[in-house]
Amino acid sequence: MIYKKPGEKFSYENITYTVGSRVLANEASEYSGLFGRILEIRTDDGRETENDAPDIYCEFDPPYLSASRRALEQTFSKLYGTPKRVEDLALDLVIMAPEMLTPLAVPEREYAQDTLYVVVSHWATDGEFGSYEAPFTDSVDAQRQFHDDLKNELESGCIEKWRENSQFVEEETAASYECYLDGEYCENHFYLSIEERPLPLAPGFIRTMSAIHDDECAREDFLDKAQALPEYLALTEDQQKQLLHNADIKGRISHYLDLCDPYWECYWDAVSKAAQDILQDYQQASPQK
Whether the predicted pLDDT of 289 surpasses 70: no
**Mean pLDDT for the stretch of residues 126-146:** 96
What pLDDT is attached to residue 47? 84
Burial zone of 233 (CB within 10 Å; 0-12 exposed, 13-18 middle, 19+ buried): exposed
Rg (alpha carbons) of the chain, rounded to whole number: 29
Question: What CATH number has the domain spanning 2-104?
Answer: 2.30.30
Domain positions in the chain: 2-104, 112-199, 203-284
What pLDDT is attached to residue 93? 95
pLDDT tens track for 19-58: 999 999 999 999 999 999 999 999 988 888 888 899 999 9
**Mean pLDDT for the stretch of residues 73-93:** 95
CB 141 within 8 A of CB 117: yes
| 193 vs 155: CA distance, rounded Å | 18
What pLDDT is attached to residue 245? 87
Binning pLDDT at 50, 70 and 90, where does residue 285 land? confident
pLDDT tens track for 172-191: 999 999 999 999 999 999 99
What pLDDT is attached to residue 49? 83
What pLDDT is attached to residue 288? 66
Question: What is the pLDDT of the chain when averaged over all its residues?
Answer: 94
**Mean pLDDT for the stretch of residues 208-236:** 94
Tell me the DSSP string of 11-68: EETTEEEETT-EEEE-TTSTTTT-EEEEEEEE-GGG-SS--SSPEEEEEEPPP-SHHH
Helix (H) or strand (E) holding 262, with range, is helix 261-285
Whether the predicted pLDDT of 233 surpasses 70: yes
What pLDDT is attached to residue 98? 95
